[in-house]
Amino acid sequence: MTYESYVGMSREELLEKIAGQMSQRRFQHVLGVEKAAIHLAELNNYDSEKAGLAGLLHDYAKELPDQDFLDLIDKYNLDQDLKNWNNNVWHGMVGIYKIQEDLGLTDKEILRAIEIHTVGSSQMTTLDKIVYVADYIEHNRDFPLVEEARVIAEQSLDKAVAYETINTVAFLAKKAQPIYPQTIETYNAFCKYSESAKG
Ligand SMILES: [Fe+2]
């Protein structure tokens, strides 16, 4: 993977920039998502360079202070409702503006996949699904359902998106946490792919 044609710098230079934005632990996660995204791209006949780069950059803005996100929402005239949400939503939906400013990335498909990587969408491209799923299953992840999620991801991206979204919605509902409306849209569009969906 070179990534040079997308960001005008070598992978090594890019890694240095990314590492400067986050903790060592998150940097390892990001490298894990790059690897998982390349694997899922190969499985699904998708461009592995594009998938790898999207995986590598997906959490670029994750450790930005809240105020920076609020400022970006104003600067780019984004939906004011975003201000009612939090880092979980912002680091994707707003983070892409930081990525464009810092790295000059212009590829619309990659930016879109990063934009929706925590909330999904009712309309997801192959790249969108790859990043969404890779983020959940990369090898550093360790939570009770991750092994099953990895098995499902080998079989079908749609099933993996369904599995992840159902678990996310259930997790948030159990903790009585608000659920971003676009996450519900993802749930409604993908729950039919779940093994437990009744025909
Ligand atoms: Fe992530």
Amino acid at 33: V
On average, the pLDDT of the chain sits at 97
- CA–centroid distance, 132 to ligand 1, in Å, is 9
135 Cα–ligand 1 center, Å: 5
What is the structure's pLDDT at 196?
A: 79
pLDDT tens by residue, 82-117: 999 999 999 999 999 999 999 999 999 999 999 999
Q: How far is the CA of 42 from the centre of ligand 1 (A)?
A: 20
The residue written with tokens 């409306």 in the block is 181
Q: How far is the CA of 159 from the centre of ligand 1 (A)?
A: 19
Q: What is the 4 CA–ligand 1 centroid distance (Å)?
A: 22
pLDDT in tens, 8-62: 999 999 999 999 999 999 999 999 999 999 999 999 999 999 999 999 999 999 9
Nearest alpha carbon to residue 192 among 155, 165, 153, 152: 165
Whole-number pLDDT of residue 141: 96
| Sign of the alpha-carbon torsion through 53, 51, 67, 104 | positive
pTM to 2 decimal places: 0.97
What separation in Å is there between the alpha carbon of 198 and the centre of ligand 1?
31
Q: pLDDT band for 198, please (50, 70, 90 cuts).
A: low
- Would the pLDDT of 197 be above 80? no
Q: Give the environment of ion ligand 1: residues with CB less than 5 A.
A: 59, 135
Structure tokens, 42: 């190969």
Please spell the DSSP secondary structure of 71-121, one letter per residue: HHHHHTT--GGGGGS-HHHHHHHTHHHHHHHHH----HHHHHHHHTTTT--
| Model pLDDT for residues 110-140, shown as the tens digit of each residue | 999 999 999 999 999 999 999 999 999 999 9
pLDDT at residue 57, rounded to an integer: 98
